[in-house]
Structure 1
Amino acid sequence: MVFSSFVFLFGFLPLLLLLYFLAKRRVKNSVLLVFSVLFYAWGEPLWVAVLLLSVCGGWIGGTQLERYRDRPASKLVLAFAVAFQILLLFYFKYIGFLLDTLRSITSIDIQVETPGLPIGISFFTFQVISYLIDVYRKEAPALSSFSKLLLYISLFPQLVAGPIVRYADVQDQLTHRRVTLEGFSQGVIRFSIGLGKKVVLANSLSDGVTLFLDGDLHDLSVMGAWFGIILFALQIYFDFSGYSDMAIGLGYMYGFRFRENFDYPYISRSATEFWRRWNMSVGQFFRDYVYIPLGGNRVRPMFNLFVVWFLTGLWHGASWNYVLWGLYFGVFIALEKRFLHRLLSTLPAVVSHLYFLVVVLVGWVLFYFESLSRGLMYLRIMFGMAAVPLTDMQLLIHFRNHLFLLTVACIAASPLPRLFHGKTSDYLRLRPAGALYVNLLIPTLCLGVLTISTLLLVGKTYTPFFYFRF
């Protein structure tokens, strides 16, 4: 089930809200748990067994960590518990990738039927690992209740595509949380914004992405190649940040407070800054649970850096293009640590921003094309190293027909709407019109976004979120 579907919007969510707020306090978690498991089981019920197996391993590991706390055996328990989660992830996500790689470099042809990929396995595996390490570090106590741990892992807003919610951040909220009218209203607004990002912007941009990136590359021009990857950069941002907005908004509706996952990444001036703003929960996970334990900036910092970026790329997908994409950013971040950051800080902001845009757009090419040869061909076209024209009629027609959409997308990807809202709210706060702005205009705009999104969903085929594949 996806948030941007009629089943969720007009069936699942209203029914859950009704039952949740009618339920007594002591059974609210049970209502959430049942609906969260139903949410995950909707598309493929068999994958619930994988989720339960992962959580069961985490629960046993957590109770044993509590049992052997402050004893040498606790390290061994942690190692076995984390290894179980990694092996589970490896089997379902990477076994086929490993076998294909072995076949390509050796004469060995191992015929093994590879399993399907459970939706969101990368996200819920990382959350179980977060739970285990937080318990080991004494940042949070182990949960004696299996159902409460299952609720933390399977909580439907963030189950299948994040953000990765650390156990230490929500441990108290699993038991003690309060829904306020203000918080619920903020949740509805945030959910509406996220739905608009996905349905109005990301889905509308996807047609252009398919046209320019999936078509015959011989028909592409230099400007068409740059235009196509810009469309994809906007599409994946609105798709993923839209999901995060909806997840955070849904959390507010039930009293949960999740951390932000995006902070206008395309206004960055370096690759380092970009990764402080893009998918922040994954970046924080690798920093706290991989980079710092390896030694961080104290011991072998470059080695630690490239381990993190190799794993970051591999986490995104079982294909060498994702590994290359991760290492590509690792190289630029290493260079920025060495000297590029000092150089960029002396240059005008527009120059450093252009540098960043070129770096990130080339990176999105590596990310998009699982075929490395096709990706390299696309890069050759972008940089005028192929026998293609500078521009073409297809580009001009598409740009003209979608100029309004592109303008809205570029503005929405910037902090301008937030700044406008903040300035307007401050100006009207002590004026009579302030109440109308907050209580009438904002709800009306949200209703408009919901209406437009619903109309755009009519007749559309299934459009899953891009990060569901991870």
Structure 2
Amino acid sequence: MLFSSLIFIFAFLPAVLAVYYLVPRSGKNTVLMLSSLIFYMWGGVSLSVILFASILFNYLFGLWINKCERGKKVPLVIGIIFNLLMLGTFKYGNFLIENINHLLNLAGINPVKDPGIILPLGISFFTFQSMSYLIDVYRKETPVQKNLFYLALYISFFPQLIAGPIVRYHDLAPQLLSRKESLSLFANGVERFIIGLVKKVIIANQFAIISHEAFSIPVDVLPQSLAWAGMISYSFQIYFDFAGYSDMAIGLGLMFGFHLPENFNFPYLATSIRKFWKSWHITLGQWLMDYLYIPLGGNRKSNFRTYFNLLIIFIVCGFWHGASWNFLLWGLVHGAFMSIERLWLEKNVLNRAGKIIPALYTFSIATFAWVLFETKDFEHTKGFYKVLFLGNDSMLGSNYLSAVFKQNFLLIAIPSVLGSFGFFRWLNIKLTAIMPEFASQPIVKGIKVAVMLIAIFTITLLLISNTYNPFIYFRF
């Protein structure tokens, strides 16, 4: 069930909210638990067994770690291996067999049968959350949860179950036990949810029209102009798609009285790849920092070891996103630029070049790297980059690009691009400085409500006409 679907917006969510606010305090978590299970099982009852198994086994591993006065590392290692095996089997099983079959074909041996493993939704996210819980219990950074119900609700909490933000147990646990709902918090949640819907349905899906066309056409007939337009469009598509989902997740949390962590902070304004990862998918970057980079030694050892650690975490980051060599290469690109920046580029060039040039540098690196996300394999990737820089003899030409760009595209694209680079945040700061009570004026509040209603109406029309597609990060 998608957040950006009619059944979720007009049936599931209103029903859950109604029951949640009608039942007494003691029953609210039960409503959330049942709602989360229904939400997840909507995508397939059989695959829900994986989620249930993850909950049960991580609960038992947590108790085991807590019980051991000595040798706590043994149950921790077993628990981590269990989670990685589960993730590896369902996310990387097909990829592994595919590569084994490639080697067998080279050796003239009959290939292994394709297992046809189906990827359970959200497995990358709830597996990382489960592992962070076990590690935090081992480090004594959080008390073990002895009540299976509360751990199950933490792992399966539907606002962030499918695509994050990745929430630490010690951040959510206190809110499971005690939280305060309020009308203002609920209103903020609704507003944030609608903003996320706008980013996804109205903005990201418009950019998707261009990017899908560019990446679907065979590279031997792909016009160079469309390749550039498609690559840049995909860069904005993936930002608004994922940031929109995160906004919706955070908004849903607020509606139920929860405060989920922010996941984006204008990443395309970042003046280095290092800073990009402090503002893009913030919760994943922090997870990799706390549970992989620092345990590996971080930057506390030799320079060689620091660069090695950076490459390791970005290899993991790449494979976390998907089971293909393209994702590995994408991770290596980011890791390589992080290392180059640390070595000399950031200190000697970027920090002395103002803000515009470093921001353009970061946006360019991120955008060229996104090609690896959307191309099918190395051959497609190589061909796409070749068209970008060398062009080809395609007869489609600029007229084809003009046909792809619909008249209303620029009306959405231009303000969206400005927004992604923080223009409206800057404008809001300036207006607030000039008129401190600007946002609290009744007419401004009325305009905001009207805009929200128009947005919901427009989104509904778009969803009825089926002009939407699943979130990109649902694939991960």
- TM tier relative to shorter chain: over 0.9
Q: C-alpha separation between the residues in 2 aligned to 1:389 and 1:449?
A: 40
- For structure 2, the 5+ residue unaligned runs are none
1:156 aligned to which of 141, 158, 170:
158
Change in 2 beyond 3 A, CA 1:129/1:368 = same
Tell me if the contact between 1:320 and 1:370 (Cα under 8 Å) persists in the aligned partners: no
Query: What pairs with 1:304-319 in structure 2 (closer than 5 Å)?
Result: 304-319=309-324
What is the letter of the counterpart of residue 392 of structure 1?
A: S
| Aligned-pair CA distance for 1:429 | 4.5
Cα distance between partner residues in 1 of 2:96 and 2:40: 27
Tell me what 1:188 maps to: 190
Quote the residue 1:91 is aligned against. 89
- Per-residue deviation, 1:224: 2.2
Partner SS state of residue 152, structure 2 = helix
Deviations 1:370-405 (A, max 9, x none): 211111111011112645699622223444722212
Contact kept, 8 Å, 1:61 with 1:132, in 2: the verdict is yes
Kept in 2, the 8 Å contact 1:226–1:382? The answer is: yes
Q: Partner residue of 1:11?
A: 11
Do the aligned residues in 2 keep the contact of 1:269 with 1:349 (CA within 8 Å)?
A: yes
| Residue of structure 1 aligned with 2:332, choices 315, 327, 332 | 327
How far residue 233 of structure 1 moved from its aligned partner, in angstroms, is 0.7
How far off its partner does 1:176 sit? 0.6
SS of equivalent to 1:173: helix
Which of 415, 424, 427 is matched with 2:422 structurally? 415
Inter-CA distance 385–459: structure 2 relative to 1 (3 Å threshold): closer
Alignment of 1:299-378 (within 5 A): 299=301, 300-342=305-347, 343-378=349-384
Structure 1: which amino acid aligns with 2:314?
W
Report the equivalent of 1:75. 73
Cα RMSD, aligned residues only: 1.9
Using the alignment, how far apart are the partners of 1:355 and 1:405 within structure 2? 25
Determine the C-alpha separation between the residues in 2 that align with 1:386 and 1:447: 47
The one-letter amino acid of 2:227's match is A
Distance 2:265 2:278 in 1: 8
Q: What is the CA-CA distance between 1:112 and the residue it aligns to?
A: 5.2
Q: 1:245 corresponds to which letter in structure 2?
A: D
Q: Measure how far apart 1:442 and its partner are.
A: 2.1
Q: Is structure 2 residue 141 aligned with structure 1 residue 135? A: no
Q: Which runs of 5+ in 1 are unaligned?
A: none
Aligned residue type for 1:145: N
Structure 2 Cα separation of the partners of residues 51 and 450 of structure 1: 33
Structure 1 residue 63 corresponds to structure 2 residue 68? no
Secondary structure at the aligned position of 1:202 is classed as helix
Shift of 1:189: 0.6
Superposed displacement of residue 103, structure 1: 1.8
Cα distance in 1, alignment partners of residues 207 and 333 from structure 2: 26
Equivalents in 2 of 1:95, 1:399: separation in Å?
39
Sequence identity of aligned pairs in percent? 40
Alpha-carbon distance in structure 1 between the residues aligned to 2:182 and 2:427: 26
Partner of 2:466: helix, strand, or coil? coil
2:469 equivalent to 1:463: yes
Residue 358 of structure 1 deviates from its aligned partner by 2.4
Name which of structure 1's ranges 31-40 and 213-222 shifts more when overlaid on structure 2.
213-222
Residues 9-56 of structure 1 show CA distances to partners (whole Å, capped at 9, x for unaligned) of 110010111100011111100000000110011121111110000111
**Cα distance between partner residues in 2 of 1:253 and 1:421:** 25
Q: Letter of the 1:163 partner, please give it.
A: P
The question of whether the paired residues in 2 share the 8 Å contact of 1:208 and 1:231 is answered with yes
Amino acid at match of 2:13: L
Task: Identify if the C-alpha distance between structure 1 residues 348 and 416 changes in structure 2 by more than 3 Å, giving closer, same or farther.
Answer: closer
Matches of 2:323 and 2:70 in 1, distance apart?
A: 35
Q: CA deviation at 1:408?
A: 2.3
Q: In the TM superposition, what is the alpha-carbon distance from 1:366 to its structure 2 partner?
A: 1.4
- Give the equivalent residue in structure 1 for 2:125: 123
Asked if the contact 2:272/2:358 (under 8 Å) is kept, the reply is yes
Question: Does structure 2 conserve the Cα–Cα contact (< 8 Å) formed by 1:140 and 1:171?
Answer: no
Q: CA deviation at 1:157?
A: 0.5
AA aligned opposite 1:383: F
> Measured at CA, do residues 347 and 417 of structure 1 come closer, stay the same or move farther in structure 2, by a change above 3 Å?
closer
Q: Supply the distance in 1 between the matched residues of 2:395 and 2:269 (Cα, whole angstroms).
A: 30
TM-score by length of 1: 0.95
Match of 1:48 in 2: 48
| 1:242 alignment partner, one of 225, 235, 244 | 244
1:454 corresponds to which letter in structure 2? T
Distance in structure 2 (CA, Å) of the matches to 1:390 and 1:341: 41
Distance 1:213 1:359, change over 3 A: same
| Aligned-partner residue type, residue 442 of structure 2 | L
